[in-house]
Amino acid sequence: MTHLAFNFPKITLDTSAAETLPVVWVQDNTALYALIDEIDSVDVVALDTEFIKRTTYYPILALVQVNTGKAIYLVDAPKLDLTEFWQALIEVPTMVWYACGEDLGIFYLLAKCPPLTNIFDVQIGVAYLSGKLQAGYSQALYEILGIQIDKGESQSNWLARPLTTEQETYAANDVRYLLALYQAVQQTLQSRQILSCVVEDSHHYANELHALQNQDSDSLYLDLIAPIYDRRQLGVLKHLTIWRETLAKATNEPKSFILGKQALREIVQEMPDSIRLLARTTINRAVLRRYGEEIVRIIRQVKAMPEQELPPPPPPNYHSKNKPFKNDLAKAIDQYSAEHQIPANLLLKNRWMNDLLVLVADDGQIEQLPAELLGYRKALVTEAIIPLLMPYKAHIKQVLDTPEYP
């Protein structure tokens, strides 16, 4: 079966109202409370942020752009206490963003709120219509509504005041047409009867971003595990990751300024327990002078740990290039894709496949699967994917039980 073709829909929409929206600066409490009152009066707001995070651990929020449908507001974030502003946004029925990953990270950091349940990420909606997972905002605007905007100011200094005319125009345009794009995407999704799928995935993404923002330092090393690491190397990775995170927060420096990923990988693999051996890695010379003794101390400490105090081995990974179930799986996903008008690459992402294989091999419970597979995808998983994987259970188990690097 061939993949169903997905392309950007071409939609004719009157955007004249968006083009004439006034731009209002919010730089004092009077203007801020007026904006909060307006947010309280509408059901949908479109948002974007501009921030700086080049030389700091914590992002510096410079600007929040808000489109209420009545006006575009540029909130001068460094000047204001935004506590009540965040609360108003938490309570609005729908917050519309485009590629909200970094924006929601900042939102969660500053608002200190539970996972948001009112998020609609238009980029996810565009992916469901076009099959393009990472379509940019300007591309989506042009392809769907025929609107062109300039993205030339994206890397400019957003903390400068006053902003240049070009910066202000760029910032306003980031939300000027976002409600119109949301409306066009929403209507098309509704006509294909898959709007609820996008709402579901937007909420999953909001939950994932909340978990990332609030991740325990003890678990950060799990994102950096390599199959070749033994348990003692995992111990070094875990303790160095905790040390680096704690130091980055304390000094408000990017983690990469303290210990880059490449140097961290080399240190974990080589386990250098002296300054002389540590110097043979690609660790920055200034970092070596400043933190070398501390890094060596951590490595020596882990080397002396009893086995039972070391981190457990990573979960099994299906690492064989031989996937005898591959064709059957592709057919099942293509069939679902064609029936439901959902791109195949959104139905079963690579990061979920290993969870399914482990479940089949261990006769696990469906509830162990990632939340994304327990929503609308659950029928696909339980009625098609797991049944077609079951005949390959012995093969899957053998691969999972075989070390990737003997």
Locate 287 and state its tokens.
């970092």
Looking at the fold, whether 397 and 299 belong to one and the same domain comes out as no
Looking at the fold, whether 102 and 167 belong to one and the same domain comes out as yes
Locate 363 and state its tokens.
């006769």
Tell me, yes or no, whether 196 lies in a domain. Answer: yes
R_g of the chain, CA atoms, integer Å: 25
Looking at the fold, whether 137 and 64 belong to one and the same domain comes out as yes
Looking at the fold, whether 353 and 228 belong to one and the same domain comes out as no
Nearest to 103 by CA among 163, 139, 62: 62
Looking at the fold, whether 165 and 266 belong to one and the same domain comes out as no
Tell me, yes or no, whether 169 lies in a domain. Answer: yes
pLDDT at 213: 94
Tell me, yes or no, whether 63 lies in a domain. Answer: yes
- Across 370-386, average pLDDT: 97
pLDDT at 263: 96
Tell me, yes or no, whether 244 lies in a domain. Answer: yes
Looking at the fold, whether 238 and 375 belong to one and the same domain comes out as no
Q: Long-range contacts: 394-400, Cβ < 8 Å, 24+?
A: 395/324, 396/318, 396/357, 396/360, 396/361, 397/361, 397/362, 399/318, 399/319, 399/320, 399/322, 400/316, 400/317, 400/318, 400/357, 400/358, 400/361
Mean model confidence pLDDT for the chain: 95
Tell me, yes or no, whether 289 lies in a domain. Answer: yes
Q: Which of 98-112, 152-166, 348-362 has the lowest mean pLDDT?
A: 152-166
pTM equals: 0.93
Looking at the fold, whether 244 and 206 belong to one and the same domain comes out as no
Tell me, yes or no, whether 406 lies in a domain. Answer: no
Looking at the fold, whether 121 and 41 belong to one and the same domain comes out as yes
Instruction: Report whether pLDDT(280) > 50.
Output: yes
Looking at the fold, whether 251 and 362 belong to one and the same domain comes out as no
Domain boundary among 159, 193, 214: 214
Identify whether the C-beta of residue 268 lies closer than 8 Å to the C-beta of residue 262: no
Nearest to 119 by CA among 134, 131, 106, 101: 101
In CATH, what number is assigned to the domain containing residue 41?
A: 3.30.420.10
Looking at the fold, whether 127 and 260 belong to one and the same domain comes out as no
Ramachandran sector of residue 44 (left: φ over 0; alpha: ψ -120 to 50; beta: rest): beta
pLDDT at 406: 54
In CATH, what number is assigned to the domain containing residue 224?
A: 1.10.150.80
pLDDT at 54: 87
* Domains contained in the chain, number: 3
- Across 38-62, average pLDDT: 96
Tell me, yes or no, whether 318 lies in a domain. Answer: no
pLDDT at 1: 41
Residue 2 — very low, low, confident or very high, per pLDDT cuts 50/70/90? very low
Instruction: Report the share of the chain in percent with pLDDT over 70.
Output: 98
Residue 327 — very low, low, confident or very high, per pLDDT cuts 50/70/90? very high
d(CA 163, CA 25): 11
pLDDT at 4: 62
Name the one residue in this structure whose structure tokens are 């039972």: 308
Domain boundary among 309, 342, 373: 309
Looking at the fold, whether 221 and 209 belong to one and the same domain comes out as no
Domain boundary among 149, 179, 214: 214
Range of the domain at 223: 217-309
pLDDT at 405: 65
pLDDT tens string 191-223: 999 999 999 999 999 999 999 999 999 999 999
Nearest to 227 by CA among 356, 313, 299, 302: 313
Decide: helix, strand or coil at residue 113. Answer: coil
Looking at the fold, whether 34 and 129 belong to one and the same domain comes out as yes
pLDDT tens string 228-277: 999 999 999 999 999 999 999 999 999 999 999 999 999 999 999 999 99
Tell me, yes or no, whether 141 lies in a domain. Answer: yes
